Structure 1
Protein backbone atom coordinates (compact mmCIF):
# COMPACT_ATOMS: atom_id res chain seq x y z
CA UNK A 1 0.00 0.00 0.00
CA UNK A 2 2.80 2.45 0.88
CA UNK A 3 4.55 1.76 -2.42
CA UNK A 4 1.36 2.61 -4.33
CA UNK A 5 1.00 5.90 -2.42
CA UNK A 6 4.64 6.76 -3.21
CA UNK A 7 4.08 6.10 -6.91
CA UNK A 8 0.86 8.14 -6.94
CA UNK A 9 2.51 11.17 -5.32
CA UNK A 10 5.53 10.95 -7.64
CA UNK A 11 3.28 10.84 -10.71
CA UNK A 12 1.12 13.70 -9.42
CA UNK A 13 4.16 15.92 -8.82
CA UNK A 14 5.86 15.15 -12.12
CA UNK A 15 2.74 15.62 -14.23
CA UNK A 16 1.02 18.53 -12.46
CA UNK A 17 3.62 20.48 -10.47
CA UNK A 18 6.86 20.09 -12.44
CA UNK A 19 5.30 19.85 -15.93
CA UNK A 20 8.16 17.79 -17.32
CA UNK A 21 11.00 19.92 -15.92
CA UNK A 22 14.31 18.25 -15.05
CA UNK A 23 13.78 18.03 -11.29
CA UNK A 24 14.39 14.81 -9.38
CA UNK A 25 11.64 13.39 -7.15
CA UNK A 26 13.04 11.24 -4.33
CA UNK A 27 11.94 9.76 -0.98
CA UNK A 28 15.24 9.95 0.93
CA UNK A 29 15.72 11.12 4.50
CA UNK A 30 16.95 14.75 4.13
CA UNK A 31 19.95 14.45 6.45
CA UNK A 32 23.03 16.68 6.32
CA UNK A 33 25.00 13.96 4.51
CA UNK A 34 22.27 13.54 1.90
CA UNK A 35 22.04 17.32 1.34
CA UNK A 36 25.82 17.51 0.85
CA UNK A 37 25.74 14.78 -1.83
CA UNK A 38 22.83 16.26 -3.76
CA UNK A 39 23.92 17.81 -7.06
CA UNK A 40 20.67 18.49 -8.94
CA UNK A 41 17.36 20.31 -8.29
CA UNK A 42 15.29 17.93 -6.19
CA UNK A 43 11.85 17.54 -4.63
CA UNK A 44 12.08 15.28 -1.60
CA UNK A 45 9.09 13.47 -0.07
CA UNK A 46 10.20 12.00 3.25
CA UNK A 47 7.71 9.60 4.86
CA UNK A 48 8.21 10.46 8.52
CA UNK A 49 5.09 9.13 10.24
CA UNK A 50 2.54 6.30 9.87
CA UNK A 51 -0.38 6.05 12.30
CA UNK A 52 -3.99 4.86 12.28
CA UNK A 53 -6.75 7.43 11.92
CA UNK A 54 -8.87 5.98 14.74
CA UNK A 55 -11.69 8.47 14.10
CA UNK A 56 -12.45 6.61 10.87
CA UNK A 57 -12.46 3.11 12.38
CA UNK A 58 -15.75 1.32 11.75
CA UNK A 59 -17.37 -1.58 13.61
CA UNK A 60 -19.20 -4.53 12.17
CA UNK A 61 -18.61 -6.91 9.27
CA UNK A 62 -19.20 -6.62 5.54
CA UNK A 63 -20.66 -9.58 3.64
CA UNK A 64 -19.35 -11.06 0.38
CA UNK A 65 -21.91 -13.04 -1.60
CA UNK A 66 -21.49 -15.66 -4.29
CA UNK A 67 -23.18 -15.81 -7.70
CA UNK A 68 -26.15 -17.53 -6.07
CA UNK A 69 -26.67 -14.62 -3.69
CA UNK A 70 -25.63 -16.58 -0.59
CA UNK A 71 -23.20 -15.10 1.94
CA UNK A 72 -19.81 -16.79 1.55
CA UNK A 73 -17.50 -14.75 3.80
CA UNK A 74 -17.55 -11.82 6.22
CA UNK A 75 -14.73 -9.29 6.71
CA UNK A 76 -14.05 -6.50 9.20
CA UNK A 77 -14.20 -2.97 7.79
CA UNK A 78 -10.90 -1.58 6.42
CA UNK A 79 -8.64 0.44 8.73
CA UNK A 80 -7.42 3.90 7.72
CA UNK A 81 -3.76 4.89 8.07
CA UNK A 82 -2.34 8.39 7.81
CA UNK A 83 0.89 8.54 5.82
CA UNK A 84 2.63 11.87 6.54
CA UNK A 85 5.24 13.20 4.13
CA UNK A 86 7.66 16.08 4.71
CA UNK A 87 7.93 17.70 1.25
CA UNK A 88 10.93 19.95 0.60
CA UNK A 89 12.55 21.60 -2.43
CA UNK A 90 16.34 21.62 -2.90
CA UNK A 91 18.15 23.94 -5.32
CA UNK A 92 21.12 26.32 -5.23
CA UNK A 93 19.01 29.43 -4.49
CA UNK A 94 16.30 29.90 -1.83
CA UNK A 95 14.18 31.83 -4.35
CA UNK A 96 14.07 28.79 -6.65
CA UNK A 97 13.14 26.56 -3.73
CA UNK A 98 10.26 28.87 -2.82
CA UNK A 99 9.10 28.81 -6.43
CA UNK A 100 9.08 25.02 -6.41
CA UNK A 101 7.18 24.91 -3.12
CA UNK A 102 4.59 27.28 -4.58
CA UNK A 103 4.10 24.94 -7.56
CA UNK A 104 3.78 21.95 -5.23
CA UNK A 105 1.27 23.70 -3.00
CA UNK A 106 -0.91 24.71 -5.94
CA UNK A 107 -0.73 21.17 -7.29
CA UNK A 108 -1.92 19.52 -4.09
CA UNK A 109 -4.63 22.10 -3.43
CA UNK A 110 -6.39 20.91 -6.59
CA UNK A 111 -7.00 17.47 -5.08
CA UNK A 112 -9.02 16.42 -2.06
CA UNK A 113 -8.14 12.79 -2.80
CA UNK A 114 -5.76 10.86 -5.02
CA UNK A 115 -7.11 10.64 -8.59
CA UNK A 116 -8.86 7.36 -9.34
CA UNK A 117 -6.38 6.41 -12.07
CA UNK A 118 -3.53 6.56 -9.53
CA UNK A 119 -5.29 4.33 -6.98
CA UNK A 120 -4.03 0.89 -8.04
CA UNK A 121 -2.85 -2.42 -6.59
CA UNK A 122 -3.35 -2.96 -2.87
CA UNK A 123 -4.42 0.67 -2.49
CA UNK A 124 -7.44 -0.06 -4.70
CA UNK A 125 -8.52 -3.29 -2.95
CA UNK A 126 -10.99 -1.69 -0.50
CA UNK A 127 -12.62 0.24 -3.38
CA UNK A 128 -12.63 3.47 -1.35
CA UNK A 129 -11.55 7.06 -1.87
CA UNK A 130 -8.02 7.93 -0.68
CA UNK A 131 -8.19 11.42 0.92
CA UNK A 132 -5.29 13.87 0.66
CA UNK A 133 -4.52 16.97 2.76
CA UNK A 134 -1.78 19.59 2.51
CA UNK A 135 -0.40 22.01 5.06
CA UNK A 136 -2.66 21.20 8.01
CA UNK A 137 -1.33 22.00 11.53
CA UNK A 138 0.60 19.04 12.99
CA UNK A 139 -0.83 17.04 15.92
CA UNK A 140 -0.13 18.39 19.38
CA UNK A 141 2.30 15.57 20.13
CA UNK A 142 4.52 16.34 17.14
CA UNK A 143 6.26 19.42 15.69
CA UNK A 144 8.13 19.73 12.41
CA UNK A 145 11.14 21.12 14.27
CA UNK A 146 11.34 17.77 16.10
CA UNK A 147 11.47 15.95 12.76
CA UNK A 148 14.38 18.09 11.59
CA UNK A 149 16.16 17.62 14.91
CA UNK A 150 15.81 13.84 14.60
CA UNK A 151 17.27 14.02 11.09
CA UNK A 152 20.20 16.10 12.26
CA UNK A 153 19.49 18.80 9.71
CA UNK A 154 18.63 22.48 9.75
CA UNK A 155 15.02 23.67 9.70
CA UNK A 156 13.85 24.25 6.14
CA UNK A 157 10.57 25.44 4.53
CA UNK A 158 8.39 22.43 3.83
CA UNK A 159 4.89 21.18 3.09
CA UNK A 160 3.17 18.51 5.14
CA UNK A 161 1.28 16.11 2.87
CA UNK A 162 -0.98 13.51 4.54
CA UNK A 163 -2.53 10.65 2.58
CA UNK A 164 -5.24 8.69 4.41
CA UNK A 165 -5.06 5.19 2.95
CA UNK A 166 -7.69 2.48 3.59
CA UNK A 167 -6.13 -0.92 4.32
CA UNK A 168 -7.83 -4.32 4.35
CA UNK A 169 -7.10 -6.23 7.57
CA UNK A 170 -6.78 -9.57 5.77
CA UNK A 171 -9.15 -11.20 8.28
CA UNK A 172 -11.83 -13.38 6.63
CA UNK A 173 -14.60 -15.28 8.43
CA UNK A 174 -16.16 -18.17 6.49
CA UNK A 175 -19.95 -18.18 6.61
CA UNK A 176 -21.81 -21.36 7.52
CA UNK A 177 -24.23 -23.02 5.06
CA UNK A 178 -27.68 -21.44 4.86
CA UNK A 179 -30.57 -23.03 6.77
CA UNK A 180 -32.68 -25.28 4.53
CA UNK A 181 -35.35 -26.72 6.85
CA UNK A 182 -36.21 -23.90 9.18
CA UNK A 183 -35.77 -24.01 12.94
CA UNK A 184 -35.95 -27.33 14.78
CA UNK A 185 -35.84 -27.84 18.56
CA UNK A 186 -35.11 -30.77 20.86
CA UNK A 187 -37.02 -30.30 24.15
CA UNK A 188 -38.15 -32.53 26.99
CA UNK A 189 -40.41 -32.22 30.02
CA UNK A 190 -38.49 -33.60 33.02
CA UNK A 191 -41.65 -33.82 35.15
CA UNK A 192 -44.24 -35.40 32.86
CA UNK A 193 -41.98 -37.10 30.30
CA UNK A 194 -43.18 -35.24 27.20
CA UNK A 195 -40.57 -34.70 24.51
CA UNK A 196 -40.11 -32.88 21.24
CA UNK A 197 -37.19 -34.18 19.17
CA UNK A 198 -36.32 -32.32 15.98
CA UNK A 199 -39.87 -31.07 15.72
CA UNK A 200 -41.62 -27.87 14.73
CA UNK A 201 -44.72 -28.58 16.87
CA UNK A 202 -45.13 -29.74 20.44
CA UNK A 203 -46.02 -33.40 21.09
CA UNK A 204 -48.03 -33.75 24.37
CA UNK A 205 -47.33 -36.72 26.71
CA UNK A 206 -49.76 -39.70 26.58
CA UNK A 207 -52.66 -39.61 29.07
CA UNK A 208 -52.11 -41.56 32.32
CA UNK A 209 -54.56 -44.12 33.81
CA UNK A 210 -55.98 -43.50 37.33
CA UNK A 211 -56.69 -46.12 39.97
CA UNK A 212 -60.40 -46.42 38.91
CA UNK A 213 -59.37 -47.23 35.36
CA UNK A 214 -60.26 -43.81 33.97
CA UNK A 215 -57.87 -41.97 31.76
CA UNK A 216 -56.69 -38.63 33.00
CA UNK A 217 -55.49 -35.84 30.77
CA UNK A 218 -52.45 -33.90 31.93
Structure 2
Protein backbone atom coordinates (compact mmCIF):
# COMPACT_ATOMS: atom_id res chain seq x y z
CA UNK A 1 0.00 0.00 0.00
CA UNK A 2 1.26 3.46 -0.85
CA UNK A 3 0.67 5.79 2.08
CA UNK A 4 0.15 9.36 0.91
CA UNK A 5 -1.24 10.86 4.12
CA UNK A 6 -1.14 10.02 7.80
CA UNK A 7 -2.13 12.10 10.80
CA UNK A 8 -3.05 11.64 14.41
CA UNK A 9 -6.69 12.67 14.74
CA UNK A 10 -7.43 12.21 18.45
CA UNK A 11 -6.17 10.62 21.64
CA UNK A 12 -9.32 9.24 23.21
CA UNK A 13 -10.11 7.81 26.64
CA UNK A 14 -13.79 6.99 26.07
CA UNK A 15 -16.12 6.14 23.22
CA UNK A 16 -17.70 9.60 23.11
CA UNK A 17 -14.29 10.83 21.89
CA UNK A 18 -13.84 8.24 19.12
CA UNK A 19 -13.87 9.61 15.55
CA UNK A 20 -17.39 9.62 14.11
CA UNK A 21 -16.53 9.19 10.43
CA UNK A 22 -17.17 5.40 10.40
CA UNK A 23 -13.88 4.48 8.72
CA UNK A 24 -12.48 0.98 9.29
CA UNK A 25 -10.05 0.57 12.17
CA UNK A 26 -7.16 -1.77 12.86
CA UNK A 27 -6.09 -1.77 16.51
CA UNK A 28 -2.56 -2.44 17.69
CA UNK A 29 -2.16 -4.20 21.01
CA UNK A 30 0.97 -5.38 22.78
CA UNK A 31 3.23 -5.05 25.76
CA UNK A 32 4.70 -1.68 26.66
CA UNK A 33 7.87 -1.07 24.62
CA UNK A 34 7.26 -3.96 22.22
CA UNK A 35 7.44 -1.69 19.19
CA UNK A 36 3.84 -0.73 18.30
CA UNK A 37 4.77 2.89 17.52
CA UNK A 38 7.82 1.82 15.50
CA UNK A 39 5.59 -0.60 13.57
CA UNK A 40 3.12 2.21 12.75
CA UNK A 41 5.91 4.58 11.70
CA UNK A 42 7.53 1.98 9.43
CA UNK A 43 4.19 1.02 7.85
CA UNK A 44 3.38 4.65 6.99
CA UNK A 45 6.95 5.70 6.05
CA UNK A 46 7.17 8.33 8.77
CA UNK A 47 9.95 8.70 11.29
CA UNK A 48 7.96 9.83 14.30
CA UNK A 49 4.24 10.35 13.75
CA UNK A 50 3.61 7.70 16.41
CA UNK A 51 5.74 8.70 19.37
CA UNK A 52 8.28 6.14 20.47
CA UNK A 53 9.69 6.25 23.97
CA UNK A 54 12.35 4.45 25.93
CA UNK A 55 10.00 4.72 28.92
CA UNK A 56 7.39 1.96 28.96
CA UNK A 57 3.79 2.90 29.70
CA UNK A 58 3.93 6.18 27.75
CA UNK A 59 0.79 5.58 25.66
CA UNK A 60 -2.14 6.06 28.02
CA UNK A 61 -4.88 6.80 25.52
CA UNK A 62 -6.35 5.25 22.38
CA UNK A 63 -4.46 7.09 19.63
CA UNK A 64 -6.31 7.24 16.30
CA UNK A 65 -4.05 7.64 13.24
CA UNK A 66 -5.94 8.34 10.01
CA UNK A 67 -4.21 6.77 7.00
CA UNK A 68 -4.87 7.95 3.41
CA UNK A 69 -8.21 9.39 4.61
CA UNK A 70 -9.47 5.76 4.34
CA UNK A 71 -8.92 3.97 7.66
CA UNK A 72 -7.35 4.22 11.11
CA UNK A 73 -4.56 2.54 12.97
CA UNK A 74 -5.57 2.68 16.65
CA UNK A 75 -2.65 2.44 19.07
CA UNK A 76 -3.88 0.91 22.33
CA UNK A 77 -2.01 1.47 25.64
CA UNK A 78 0.66 -1.15 26.23
CA UNK A 79 0.10 -3.70 28.96
CA UNK A 80 2.37 -5.46 31.42
CA UNK A 81 4.08 -2.35 32.71
CA UNK A 82 4.60 -2.53 36.48
CA UNK A 83 5.29 1.13 37.40
CA UNK A 84 1.69 2.17 36.90
CA UNK A 85 -0.70 2.25 39.84
CA UNK A 86 -3.29 -0.49 40.12
CA UNK A 87 -6.01 2.14 39.75
CA UNK A 88 -4.48 3.40 36.47
CA UNK A 89 -4.08 -0.15 35.15
CA UNK A 90 -7.76 -0.86 35.90
CA UNK A 91 -8.82 2.36 34.12
CA UNK A 92 -6.74 1.37 31.06
CA UNK A 93 -8.26 -2.10 31.21
CA UNK A 94 -11.81 -0.69 31.17
CA UNK A 95 -10.95 1.72 28.34
CA UNK A 96 -9.38 -1.07 26.24
CA UNK A 97 -12.24 -3.51 26.95
CA UNK A 98 -14.84 -0.90 26.01
CA UNK A 99 -13.04 -0.29 22.73
CA UNK A 100 -12.55 -3.94 21.75
CA UNK A 101 -16.02 -5.07 22.84
CA UNK A 102 -18.12 -2.22 21.48
CA UNK A 103 -16.36 -0.61 18.52
CA UNK A 104 -18.21 -1.53 15.33
CA UNK A 105 -15.55 0.04 13.08
CA UNK A 106 -12.91 -2.37 14.42
CA UNK A 107 -12.01 -4.79 11.62
CA UNK A 108 -8.94 -6.54 13.06
CA UNK A 109 -6.34 -6.40 15.80
CA UNK A 110 -2.61 -6.55 15.35
CA UNK A 111 -1.07 -8.29 18.35
CA UNK A 112 2.54 -7.12 18.49
CA UNK A 113 5.00 -9.47 20.21
CA UNK A 114 8.79 -9.40 20.52
CA UNK A 115 10.20 -12.16 18.34
CA UNK A 116 13.26 -12.52 20.59
CA UNK A 117 11.22 -13.67 23.58
CA UNK A 118 8.48 -16.14 24.32
CA UNK A 119 5.11 -14.34 24.46
CA UNK A 120 4.26 -13.31 28.02
CA UNK A 121 1.22 -14.36 30.03
CA UNK A 122 -0.20 -10.89 29.23
CA UNK A 123 0.29 -11.57 25.50
CA UNK A 124 -1.54 -14.89 25.92
CA UNK A 125 -4.41 -13.19 27.78
CA UNK A 126 -4.72 -10.53 25.07
CA UNK A 127 -4.81 -13.20 22.36
CA UNK A 128 -7.49 -15.14 24.29
CA UNK A 129 -9.48 -11.94 24.94
CA UNK A 130 -9.47 -10.95 21.25
CA UNK A 131 -10.32 -14.51 20.20
CA UNK A 132 -13.19 -14.66 22.68
CA UNK A 133 -14.70 -11.48 21.22
CA UNK A 134 -14.08 -12.82 17.70
CA UNK A 135 -11.81 -9.96 16.68
CA UNK A 136 -9.64 -11.16 13.75
CA UNK A 137 -6.00 -11.24 14.88
CA UNK A 138 -2.76 -10.75 12.97
CA UNK A 139 0.34 -11.43 15.07
CA UNK A 140 3.31 -9.21 14.22
CA UNK A 141 6.61 -10.50 15.62
CA UNK A 142 8.87 -7.43 15.84
CA UNK A 143 12.65 -7.07 16.17
CA UNK A 144 13.23 -9.65 13.43
CA UNK A 145 16.58 -8.03 12.60
CA UNK A 146 17.88 -8.98 16.07
CA UNK A 147 17.61 -12.73 15.31
CA UNK A 148 19.95 -14.70 13.08
CA UNK A 149 18.33 -16.18 9.97
CA UNK A 150 19.01 -19.75 11.11
CA UNK A 151 17.11 -19.22 14.40
CA UNK A 152 14.01 -17.45 13.06
CA UNK A 153 11.93 -20.56 12.38
CA UNK A 154 12.46 -21.79 15.96
CA UNK A 155 11.41 -18.41 17.40
CA UNK A 156 8.27 -18.34 15.24
CA UNK A 157 7.39 -21.88 16.27
CA UNK A 158 7.72 -20.90 19.96
CA UNK A 159 5.38 -17.92 19.43
CA UNK A 160 2.78 -20.13 17.73
CA UNK A 161 2.99 -22.76 20.47
CA UNK A 162 2.89 -20.31 23.38
CA UNK A 163 -0.10 -18.39 22.02
CA UNK A 164 -1.70 -21.69 20.91
CA UNK A 165 -2.34 -20.27 17.47
CA UNK A 166 -4.54 -22.11 15.02
CA UNK A 167 -3.43 -22.86 11.46
CA UNK A 168 -5.58 -19.96 10.20
CA UNK A 169 -3.79 -17.46 12.44
CA UNK A 170 -1.25 -15.28 10.68
CA UNK A 171 2.16 -14.50 12.14
CA UNK A 172 4.35 -12.03 10.29
CA UNK A 173 8.00 -11.57 11.25
CA UNK A 174 8.72 -7.84 11.08
CA UNK A 175 11.62 -5.41 11.43
CA UNK A 176 11.08 -1.70 11.95
CA UNK A 177 14.79 -1.26 11.23
CA UNK A 178 15.00 -2.97 7.84
CA UNK A 179 11.35 -2.96 6.75
CA UNK A 180 11.37 -6.74 6.37
CA UNK A 181 7.78 -8.00 6.63
CA UNK A 182 6.23 -4.64 5.71
CA UNK A 183 4.90 -5.70 2.30
CA UNK A 184 3.39 -8.87 3.73
CA UNK A 185 1.85 -6.94 6.64
CA UNK A 186 0.14 -4.53 4.21
CA UNK A 187 -1.02 -7.40 2.00
CA UNK A 188 -2.66 -9.12 5.00
CA UNK A 189 -4.10 -5.98 6.63
CA UNK A 190 -5.66 -4.74 3.39
CA UNK A 191 -7.88 -7.83 3.39
CA UNK A 192 -9.62 -6.41 6.48
CA UNK A 193 -10.13 -2.98 4.96
TM-score by length of 2: 0.28
Larger Rg: 1
Name the one with the larger strand percent: 1
Name the one with the larger helix percent: 2
TM-score by length of 1: 0.26
